[in-house]
Amino acid sequence: MQNKLFSSLKSALTIALSVLCICPSQHAYSASTIPVEVFEIENKIFGNRTLFVSKDTVKVMITRDQVVIQSKAPYSEVVIFNNRSRMIHRNNAAKSISDIRAIGEMLSDFNGIQIIWRPHGKQVLQGVPCNVYLAEIIHEKNRNNQADTGDWRKYWTRIDVGNTSKAQGEIISAACGSPAIPGIPQRLEYFGAETDFNVSFLARSNIDSKKKILRVLQSTKSYKHVDLPANTFAIPTDYKFKKDITKVLLPGNSRSSLKDMKMSPDFLFETK
């Protein structure tokens, strides 16, 4: 009887020790790392980006300027911080997306044209299943609002990874410098005159130029699914808050470009 009781106590003790030894280490692992999809995106207009997408967070790093654009579910707010200047800006998502796109349009001399994107089916591009979009370019000045058939853009968004929500996708596309189509970008092509890269190429098509060539403006070069430290999405708590988004998002020389165009932040953005 004593042997049987001892055996039962020993078994119970072994189980208890196993729980104490195993559970903490498993908990520590799950708490310290999270599964993340990482995309390396080349952008010839606004600079390269690294995109991180987890279950409930999106983060876009602009490596050249050491700027991070980040949002967390339910994606109602966007936080932008500059690791070089140690400044931070936050606003509701709709306003942030609008401001980011307004800056992009000003810096790329986007005035004078309207781009209407239309779905164009699905296609496997570089082994990646994608949604396809074609752009209709309408010149608002000196073109009598006629679509320029000699100037077109084609855009692909990925459909092979995750279930990117519309709210996520809108933030991603703005932060990556992509067309205003929710989703994870794969490729953006532009077909125009060879001189377009030497002038304000987004605003001009050079319809009279006979020599047209294909340019890749944006391309996702790599994708991987990895476990990263949870602090990958940490937001600095000691950075100085700036109400003016341009002071955080843009380096000094880019802000000077806006001043040269006589477009002050007060004109570009509401400062309520």
195 lies in a domain?
A: yes
What's the total number of domains in the chain? Answer: 1
Which residue range(s) make up the domain with 220?
32-268
pLDDT tens-digit series, residues 166-181: 999 999 999 999 999 9
Kindly indicate the confidence band of residue 6, based on its pLDDT and cuts at 50, 70 and 90: very low
Q: What confidence score (pLDDT) does residue 47 get?
A: 87
86 lies in a domain?
A: yes
pLDDT tens-digit series, residues 41-52: 999 888 899 999
Omega within 30 of 0 (cis) for the link into 236: no
- Alpha carbons within 13 angstroms on the beta-carbon side of residue 126 total 10
3 lies in a domain?
A: no
Place of tokens 């997306």: 97
Percent of the chain with pLDDT over 70: 64
pLDDT tens-digit series, residues 118-173: 999 999 998 999 999 998 776 655 544 444 444 578 999 999 886 678 999 999 99
5 lies in a domain?
A: no
10 lies in a domain?
A: no
